[in-house]
Amino acid sequence: MGLICSKPNSLVSLITVEYDVKDDQPEETEIFRLEPASTELIEKVILKRFSHITEIDARSIANFSGGNARIAIALGNTVKRGDNLSQLKDSDLFIRLFQQRNEPSKSLLRAAEACSLVYSFNIQLSENEELELLSDLVGMNVQEMYRNVSELMRRDLVQKRSVWRAVLPHAIANKLARRALENIPIEKICSVFENGGSERLLKSFSRRLSYLHESEEAIEISKRWLKEDGLLGDVSNLNKLGITLFENIAPLNPELTLSVIERVFKISSAETFFNEIMNFTMNIQCFLDL
């Protein structure tokens, strides 16, 4: 196809669409935000693609997918002729989507939960601590974690780019992350990410937390970090990493965030932090006024 497009006077153009699983924004890359499709559109897609699925089940799939066609199609692939999804809870549909007609695997689910706690992670085993840290969260050895990540890729629940991996789509990653926060003690999670020695993974963890404003455990971590003796307690002396963490977790607890910022104004040496955070503070206040 590329050869056809590159021919002189060719009238054919080619656009490739790829989700970048890394945390950073690649240079010379245009990034577009695609909004979820409507429930009605997803329902039509399911009915068109799977002739044996009833309208009621297609509606259940569409409602569960949250407008994500990829999730809807993956769930549709699990439906056998004669199945009835209308009586299933969201938790049942999630397990069905995760297993995809395979045998249940507690090890695979634990690995998925751990990996979902970060926005992305490095899969390399040599001279890389990220996979080891994620394995430590669930008491799993690195080789077993690596095998589980490979299986999640085969189930289309993990995407890759070079050495980077990410649990996707985010609708599934967020559900898994909430389960992880419920199943793994907060002390263990904070210890691994705060003391593990990987600033990149800590930042990636904070980015995942920013999506989990309905999680009591995520909110508790934000409170823990924002205490005066917490990870982000000395807000007037935050470095670039600290400011990034602060910005990521702020939406979890806007009121507490603003009260922490108020402490900064009482500190004469807070000018640098003030300049970095002023626009962000205004956004938080607008959020509270909604």
CATH number, domain of 150, equals: 1.10.10
pTM: 0.78
Q: Give residue-wise pLDDT tens across range 63-120.
A: 888 888 888 998 999 998 888 888 888 888 888 888 888 889 999 999 999 999 999 9
Burial class of residue 204, CB neighbours in 10 A (0-12, 13-18, 19+):
buried
Nearest Cα neighbor of 226 from 209, 211, 214 is 209
With respect to residue 70, please indicate whether it lies within any of the assigned structural domains. Answer: yes
Q: Give residue-wise pLDDT tens across range 116-172.
A: 999 999 998 876 789 999 999 999 999 999 999 999 999 888 999 889 999 988 888
3-state DSSP assignment of residue 171 = helix
**Total domains, the chain:** 3
185, 218: one domain: no
256, 217: one domain: yes
268, 287: one domain: yes
Are 181 and 155 contacting, i.e. CB atoms less than 8 angstroms apart?
Answer: no
